[in-house]
Amino acid sequence: MSMTDLLNAEDIKKAVGAFSATDSFDHKKFFQMVGLKKKSADDVKKVFHILDKDKSGFIEEDELGFILKGFSPDARDLSAKETKTLMAAGDKDGDGKIGVDEFSTLVAES
């Protein structure tokens, strides 16, 4: 399954383009722009599993830095600052990684 099976390719392109500048990433706006906010809980979980590159059941900080590439392969990496901000917003239990429920909450709060 690919991201475009779940989300509109044009929406992804626009969202990735909107945050092309370093340190401009805003996860709340991004999740809204790609249409993730409107998706069912099941589809949000499917997106999580696409982003969980090592299939560990968590999105760790190193994977989080490449989150935009999970939506579009030619997207930029997040800066260290953006990655830390996103981790802080998503890691509700403080274990240094984002689980599927935490990701669902992060999207729902967007």
Is 95 marked within a binding site?
Answer: yes
Is 77 marked within a binding site?
Answer: no
Is 74 marked within a binding site?
Answer: no
Residue ranges per structural domain of the chain: 1-107
CATH superfamily of the 1-107 domain: EF-hand (1.10.238.10)
pTM equals 0.95
- Report whether pLDDT(110) > 90: no
Is 54 marked within a binding site?
Answer: yes
Is 63 marked within a binding site?
Answer: yes
Buried b (16+ CB within 10 A) or exposed e, 11-27: bbeebbeebeeeeebeb
**pLDDT tens-digit profile of 69-109?**
999 999 999 999 999 999 999 999 999 999 999 999 999 99
- Report whether pLDDT(55) > 90: yes
State the helix-helix crossing angle for 80-90 and 100-108, rounded to 10 degrees: 100
80 exposure class (CB count in 10 Å sphere: 0-12, 13-18, 19+)? exposed
- Tell the residue number behind the tokens 């722009």, with chain if given: 33
pLDDT band, very low/low/confident/very high, at 62 (cuts 50, 70, 90) = very high
CA 2 to chain centre: 14
**pLDDT tens-digit profile of 4-51?**
999 999 999 999 999 999 999 999 999 999 999 999 999 999 999 999
Is 25 marked within a binding site?
Answer: no
